[in-house]
Structure formats: structure tokens, C-alpha cells
Amino acid sequence: MFDEKTIYKQLIAPVESQMMRSIWRIVRHPELAEDTLQEALIIIWKKRERICCHPNPHALILKICLNAAYDSLRKRARFRKQQNSSLLHKLQSPSETTVSQALERKKTEDEIFKAIGRLPKRQAVAILMRIIQDQPYDVIAQTLGCSETTARIHVSRGRARLSQWLSHLHTSPLLEVSK
Amino acid sequence: MKKEKPLNMKIDDLLKQVLKDDLPPESESRMRRHFAQFRKKFEQPDQQSRTNVRWQWAHWVLRKEVLALSSIIMVVLGVIMHMNVQRSALAETVLMLRTSVSVSDQVRHTGSMECSVQVPTRDGQFLAYSIQWISPNMTRVDVQKANEIDKTLWISKEDIFIADHIKNVMHKVKGVEQIKDPLFQPVMEFLSPVELAERMYRRWQIKQYKPLAEQERGSFTFKDPNHIGKSLLEMIVDLNTYLPLSIKKFLPGPTIVSEEETLVMQLHFTWNKPVSPQIMTPKIKKRSLDA
């Protein structure tokens, strides 16, 4: 089980795509996403023996990716200026016809990312596992190393906080545009 | 699974829209390259394991238990080496020279010296000398025969006087080199601590040094190559003060110096004892008148 080739083949290779996508969905910046993936791979390498012994190693690997992405999200402010420059490209998308719509959308996204970054790490990871990866509560509990009830509490509290902080966005044009 | 509340659904929808799965193909290919590089590390297990073995070895060597064990072994070896009687020639030479330098240095820095000298005569009697020296460089030498002082030599910075107490005469000598009286010749090399230190340092050759641990004393054997017959000297030093306690001068024998060798002079030293400066004033002892 601890043969390194087997570890990669059986544990990492099947979730490569999910790892990339989980990181991208939170970080949303090409270079930062690559860095985050590197960091996640280093952590996975260091914890490989623990991962092998885990009852759900794939979920644990994806949770490590979310952890790394959450850390990057908090550092993301540095990249916001660069992201603004890419906004011009987005303007040309058929669904967003005006500059004001694009700016509004960007502002909303920033607020949501900022809110996720404000959540305590375990709550943030729990809610991201639930929403992005559609993980059931028992798997979230396994990867966080807590009971299922505690996992539910993390998700519920995270949601409550986000609802409170983002209440003004429930009627956001972001939702309307996408609909 | 329970149904999510409508409010939760709203926030979930909002998050799902913002955190949408739209990984650009360029980013995907670049991230796949990272996976490929990472996979390479797994595919080169030999090199990896060699590095690991090297680091594991270094890690093992630096473990606390190993370091503690090696320290204990080194301490034990040190004790064994220290207790070993047959010490290395180099260690003995270093000890000999270090002790010699310490003695020479201590002798130079004394405040006073008293030395009683016994020189055996041909008739089986002893010629006795009493050398008293006080800083700065004042010496008195009394020559005694049958417990009576026959002659006295005073040496100071200014003058040198020799008094003959039998003849009741005293004469002045210009320099130490002018002291021709054969009676004083045997003790000329012990007239002051500086003289003794100079002899140890420049003239005498160290033949042997033996620490006498039970008495905290050490024994030097010197060879005096300039002396007629190349005499041998045995000096006992106090290892607490590094000052000489006694010197025995022998005529050279075929073996190492011993009591059975021909003893030509024996000296006993007392150091840093208060000496009255009055005794350094040249004065004839009117023995004949008193008698």
C-alpha cells in the first residue's frame, strides 16, 4: 500500500481533474491556481502515509486541495488588480453587454470571495466540500476528523454567516443574468 | 438526505454561480504539467530511495540516543586513557615542559627565598650554607662549619662584601665574577631565584619528569652539560605552588639518578617567608672576641 507508484496510481490519478477544478473554482486565477496546486501536492506528498490509511483517501486529497485554495483565497487581494485587467475580455462575452453589468458582476464576485475568506477555515472547507464537491456529510466529517453532527453544524453556521453577509446579493443581477 | 431550506438553496445557488466550473483549457494543460512533474518523482524510485537512504543514515547518526551513547563512549575512553600508566611520549613531553615553565615562572616571581645547602666534604663531614634572598635582589650567604658561621657573603645592587668572621676582616668585591673564594663556588648558581630560573631555562637540560601524585609533588631530573663531569640534578617541586622544595646534585652514574649515586650537594628551599632586611647589612660577627 505504501509503494509510491501505487499511491499515485490509486489515490491521486483518479482525482487529478477534480483537484484542478476544485482549486480553480475557488482561486480563479491561472498562476495562483498553479501555485495552489503545487502547495497541495507537497502537502499530499508529506501526508501520503496518513492518506493511505484514511477510510476515504480521495475525499481527504480533495479536502487538502480546498484547504490550500482557501489559504490562497485569503492571499488573493494581491491579484485583484491583475484580474481587473482581464475584465475587458469578459466584456466581450455575449451575455454581458454593458460595462456596468460587468463591473457589477465583478463587484459581486469579489464580495462573495471576500465573505468565504472571512469564514473560519473549517466552516469554509466544510461548506465548499458541500457545495463544490457535493460531498455527503459523513464524508465531510471523515475528512475534517469530526462527527457528522459537527460537520453539519460547520456547514450550517457557514451558510448562516454567508447569508447574513451576502443578504443584499440575493436579488443580485448576477443571479438574474445567469438565469 | 434532508431537503435544504429555501434560504440555504439561495446561498448555495449564489456560491455555485460564482464558484463555477469553468477551468480554462490553458490553465488545465499547465496544471496537468505539474501533475506530470509530480508523477516523475514517483517513477524514479531508485534515485529517490538512494537519497532517502543517505538522509536516513544522516538522520540516524544525529539521533539524540546515538549522540548520547557516543558521548558516553568517549568519556569512558578518556577515563581509561587517563588512568593508563603508559601515557604517550608526546603527552609526557608536554606535561614536562608545561610544569618546567610553571616552576621557572613561579621562581622568578617570589618575594623571598631561604635555602639551606649541605655539601659533603672529603672527611665525611658536611659544609653547610645558608642562602637568604629578598626582593629586590639582596642576598646573604653564610658558610657554616661545626655550627659556626665562618664566612658571609652579602650581595646587593650597590655592593658585594665578604666577611671572614674568623679573621675578623671584611672586604668589598667589585662584581659577582670577582668572587674567587672557593668556599662560595658550590652555591654560586643558587644565589637568587632569578639565577635558579635562568639555570632551569637556559643551562640545564630536562632529562625526565615524574609526577609523584600521592604527595602532590613532581620530580625533575636535569643534566648540567656545562658542569665538570656533567652532573645530574634532581629537583622535587610542589605541584600546588610550583616552587622547588629540594635539589640534589649528583655526579653522573651509569643509570638513572638514585640515592646510591655520589651526592655532591643537597638543597632545601623555603619560599616567601618574611626575612628581616637587617640581616642584609654587612657586619662582622666578632666570634673570636666573644669567645
Is A159 in contact with B30 (Cβ distance < 8 A)? no
Is B27 in contact with A33 (Cβ distance < 8 A)? yes
Domains of chain A, by residue range, sit at 4-178
Tell me the pLDDT tens digit for each residue of A116-141. Answer: 888 999 999 999 999 888 899 999 99
pTM of the model: 0.45
Q: Is residue B52 part of a domain?
A: no
List Cα–Cα distances, B188 to B174, B193, B228, B268, in angstroms. 16, 12, 15, 15
Residues of chain A with pLDDT under 50: 85, 87-88, 91-92, 176-179
Is B34 in contact with A41 (Cβ distance < 8 A)? yes
Instruction: Give the CATH number for residue B171.
Output: 2.50.20.10
| Residues, chain B | 291
Alpha carbons B207 and B234: distance in angstroms, whole number:
10
Min Cα–Cα distance to chain A from B52, Å: 13
Tell me the pLDDT tens digit for each residue of B114-126. Answer: 999 988 887 777 8
Residue in A4, A41, A166 closest to B14 by CB: A166
* Number of structural domains chain B divides into: 1
Residue in B11, B21, B41 closest to A162 by CB: B11
Let me know: does B2 contact A163? Beta carbons within 8 Å.
Answer: no
Question: What is the rounded average pLDDT of the residues B9-33?
Answer: 87
ipTM of the predicted structure?
0.80
Tell me the pLDDT tens digit for each residue of B200-218. Answer: 878 888 888 888 876 788 8
Kindly report the three-state secondary structure assignment for every residue of chain A: CCCHHHHHHHHHHHHHHHHHHHHHHHHCCHHHHHHHHHHHHHHHHHCHHHHHHCCCHHHHHHHHHHHHHHHHHHHHHHHHHHHHHHHHHHHCCCCCCCHHHHHHHHHHHHHHHHHHHHCCHHHHHHHHHHHCCCCCHHHHHHHHCCCHHHHHHHHHHHHHHHHHHCHHHCCCHHHHHHC
Tell me the pLDDT tens digit for each residue of B124-177. Answer: 778 899 999 988 888 999 998 777 888 899 988 878 899 888 888 888 888 888
Q: Is residue B43 part of a domain?
A: no
Question: What is the rounded average pLDDT of the residues B96-103?
Answer: 85
Q: Domain range spanning residue B104?
A: 98-282
List Cα–Cα distances, B4 to A123, A136, A152, B49, in angstroms. 17, 13, 12, 50
Q: DSSP secondary-structure letter at B239?
A: T
Q: Which residues of B touch A22 (CB under 8 A)?
A: none
pLDDT for A176 equals 47
Q: Which residues of B touch A124 (CB under 8 A)?
A: none
More confident residue, B25 or B49: B25
Q: Is residue B158 part of a domain?
A: yes
Judged by a CB distance cut-off of 8 A, whether residue A52 touches chain B is no
Judged by a CB distance cut-off of 8 A, whether residue B230 touches chain A is no
Min Cα–Cα distance to chain B from A176, Å: 11
**Residues facing B138 on adjacent strands:** B134
Q: Which residues of B touch A132 (CB under 8 A)?
A: 16, 19
Contact residues, B window 18-37, toward A, CB-based 8 Å cutoff: 18-24, 26-28, 30-32, 34-35
Q: To 10 degrees, what angle do helices A121-131 and A137-144 make?
A: 140
Judged by a CB distance cut-off of 8 A, whether residue A93 touches chain B is no
Contact residues, A window 96-125, toward B, CB-based 8 Å cutoff: 108-109, 112-113, 116
Is B11 in contact with A174 (Cβ distance < 8 A)? no
**Which of B104, B99, B287 has its CA nearest to residue B210?**
B99
Judged by a CB distance cut-off of 8 A, whether residue B50 touches chain A is no
Phi and psi at A96, nearest 5°, equal -115, 105
pLDDT for A155 equals 92
Question: Is residue B266's pLDDT more than 60?
Answer: yes
- Which DSSP string corresponds to B82-114? HH-SS--HHHHHHHHHHHHHHHHHHHHT-SEEE
